[in-house]
Amino acid sequence: MNVAWNIINIGIAGYALYQFANNNQALLMDSERWSEHLRIKNLYLINAGLDVLYVVAGSFLWARSVKSEKNRDRLKGFGQAIVLQGGFLLIFDLVMYGLQSNSERILLMLPDF
């Protein structure tokens, strides 16, 4: 399960980094550029908060596996997989938020801001 989820993670990260690197902000009007930037930046921050919930839910399943007699291995495996997935997504969203914050400084240095 972890392998499959991380293949998806690589796809998500690759696509997002590609979009970030190839985003031509010069094509947007100033107000559109700023609005789009803030929307994306806030989206990464909101996603980071949701990722924390992901990690908490996985931790709950993992901890529950200790007390479970019937589904111990399944709960442990699902819990570990969800913690791993949530952890990756949390790191990814925080890195992308940081990149957006850095590009915000660049946008503020452009004329007409």
Query: What is the pLDDT, as a whole number, of residue 103?
Result: 75
Q: What angle do CA 57, 63, 66 make, to 5 degrees?
A: 145
Q: Which residue has the tokens 């495996």?
A: 77
Whether this model's pTM surpasses 0.85 = no
Nearest residue to 103 (alpha-carbon basis) of 44, 46, 38:
38
Nearest residue to 93 (alpha-carbon basis) of 65, 34, 52:
52
pLDDT, tens only, 28-73? 556 777 788 788 889 999 999 999 999 999 999 999 999 888 889 9
pLDDT, tens only, 76-102? 999 999 999 999 999 999 999 998 888
- Candidate from 24-28, 88-92, 103-107 with smallest mean pLDDT: 24-28
Query: What is the pLDDT, as a whole number, of residue 86?
Result: 94
Q: Map out the domains of the chain as residue ranges.
A: 2-109
